[in-house]
Structure 1
């Protein structure tokens, strides 16, 4: 089959992404628009087959490297291609290379995601020294009835969901006006747990881009008019993602984080999702996670204790892989990473 490189319109691209077996939120045009508002330039490259349909493609996010060293091209959870079809892979990578180089890319970083067994080295990639997305995540099966989902959780999580209702925690689906409340919770959480959060405008932009499309929802849990926890959940096809969550130090005995997370899962099921990605746990083997989660709180360890109770499994992605166009700049990039890690 012959393929022709094209630059698809956003609606055509999103239709392709939604129908792809490896569909992911971070490959949608709306995600490109979100990143465009904060310093990235989205670029979509696709292959059209003989029937005029998109057969494969990749959304690239472009960002200038420091010191006028060119551009980084990054494809999160892409490319969307049949890795078992050598001709399709070669044609797409050729089109991606051309587009990336036209935009001054020194190298291309891809993070193809989970459940992939492709020989990426054979396709010209090398393991990257730097990941962008957490390599390991916690995936929940939310197919079947609510009783079946609850039965897969551990006893403590089920009990805390019930406590949230018993202790008069009210759950509401947030409006645009509630984004400010969510931002306040996010900054409280970041200060407490010592992790970075996005600017307030970021979550507002995410709401504006995804909620009207029916691809996201904001849920807030409150008691006596005071917001205690919130989540922003996204869905596409059979997949859902818990990308952002926050909680207050106030009234923690009411287990608001459990009630609002359960509301997010129920919403994802209503959208047809069967898999709920809790997005990010420490990059350690399951045995180490279980042995250390009660004593460690650094990095993603602080969230693993909460996530492990929801009845899922730890999944590791294939990580990040780089395709080098300019070896000198790539060597400088690796040196800068080593210096940052040693400082």
Structure 2
């Protein structure tokens, strides 16, 4: 059993959950420097249609906030009950060996709100593989789970043990391809303590060659505006058709996302465009929160791919993230396959070229609230999600 799990919990006063204003929530993030992801920002609630939401904080009876959470509430049809979802949250002290001190009051509040089940996304990482390790272990039928990790995070291991001991269930079990709403495997490029020369040298030869090729061909990378979102969306539909996936999002979704994130903080979401001979060939979105930057969604045309607009875009975005003082450039989800004949492997191979690392997060965890009725609703809701 993990030494972290066995650490004795200090005695402390009980924490009291409370509803927060967006201003108080953001003030906590600023004061503490808490590394909240963009899915836990107050503005994200405005992005999600069909969900109600609460901004919750908890503190001792006298004292400052010690944690916060954006909770999305999905009503179950025909009832006054809700599925409570905390995407990549809550923003809490996961190093605390007594997670019951803040988790139990939070669950009590959600139960009183009418939640029949709760899904969370703990922030600690679980395992990491560097690019060289994965490249060396690429082969037929291979998957990330088959490869010995370069690092296993003891905190992530301890948090998983603590949640299991309290009856939480990992969505999709321990399968790498579970039912998580957010990607369980992501790709991150460390930026802290590195120079731009370090970043350039971290790219593999193919990436450096492609960035040079784009530059020589005259590809121009610029930051666009809301007016360019329809073109981004047109290219996204082309990309979905070409690569065999469907995000299921509308142009209105991206327009709303762009508007509310930038209303919360100007420049929080940016749209980068790669132009060649006057035509936009690729468009990628980037989101910034605190000292973290995410490449969220990428789209590109089917023609003139030889001028490598996407490589040019990513290199510019990485440099801009570095200039902002970000600690990490997060390229978001990757597939778990290491089989070069698997169509999905192409995305992983492309991101490996940046020289970062593949990270397995703890994934998402669920628990039904107490009571036979809530357990029944939980099972019904799982069936409802499976049919969607």
Please report the TM-score for the alignment, with normalisation by the length of structure 2.
0.78
Counterpart in the other structure of 2:45? 32
| Cα distance in 2 for residues equivalent to 1:27 and 1:91 | 21
| Cα distance in 1 for residues equivalent to 2:268 and 2:182 | 20
Is 1:328 aligned to 2:328, yes or no?
no
| Cα distance in 2 for residues equivalent to 1:69 and 1:49 | 30
CA shift in 2, pair 1:66/1:194, >3 Å: farther
Is 1:155 aligned to 2:198, yes or no?
no
| Cα distance in 1 for residues equivalent to 2:360 and 2:237 | 29
Counterpart in the other structure of 1:304? 348
CA shift in 2, pair 1:148/1:39, >3 Å: same
Counterpart in the other structure of 1:193? 243
Is 1:237 aligned to 2:286, yes or no?
no
Q: Contact conserved, 1:58 with 1:96, CA < 8 A, in 2? A: no
| Cα distance in 2 for residues equivalent to 1:165 and 1:273 | 25
Q: CA deviation at 1:334?
A: 4.3
Over residues 178-224 of structure 1, what are the superposed CA-to-partner deviations in whole Å (9 max), with x where a residue is unaligned? 11211111111112222223100111112112235132211100112
- Aligned counterpart for 1:246 among listed residues 281, 286, 299: 299
Q: CA deviation at 1:125?
A: 1.6
Q: How does 1:175-186 map to 2 (within 5 A)?
A: 175-186=225-236
**Is 3-12 or 308-317 further displaced after alignment?**
3-12
Is 1:270 aligned to 2:283, yes or no?
no
Q: CA deviation at 1:15?
A: 2.9
Q: Contact conserved, 2:17 with 2:109, CA < 8 A, in 1? A: no
For the aligned residue pairs, the C-alpha RMSD in angstroms reads 2.2
Counterpart in the other structure of 1:202? 253
Counterpart in the other structure of 2:19? 7
| Cα distance in 2 for residues equivalent to 1:176 and 1:74 | 29
Over residues 50-90 of structure 1, what are the superposed CA-to-partner deviations in whole Å (9 max), with x where a residue is unaligned? 66421012211111235648321111111122234355x32
Over residues 104-136 of structure 1, what are the superposed CA-to-partner deviations in whole Å (9 max), with x where a residue is unaligned? 322001111342341212344222232111110
Over residues 230-272 of structure 1, what are the superposed CA-to-partner deviations in whole Å (9 max), with x where a residue is unaligned? 1111112221111111111121001000111112112212222
Q: Specify the SS of the correspondent of 2:359.
A: strand
Specify every segment of 5 or more residues in structure 1 that has no aligned partner in the other structure, as ranges: none
Q: Contact conserved, 2:36 with 2:289, CA < 8 A, in 1? A: yes
CA shift in 2, pair 1:278/1:192, >3 Å: same
| Cα distance in 2 for residues equivalent to 1:55 and 1:228 | 46
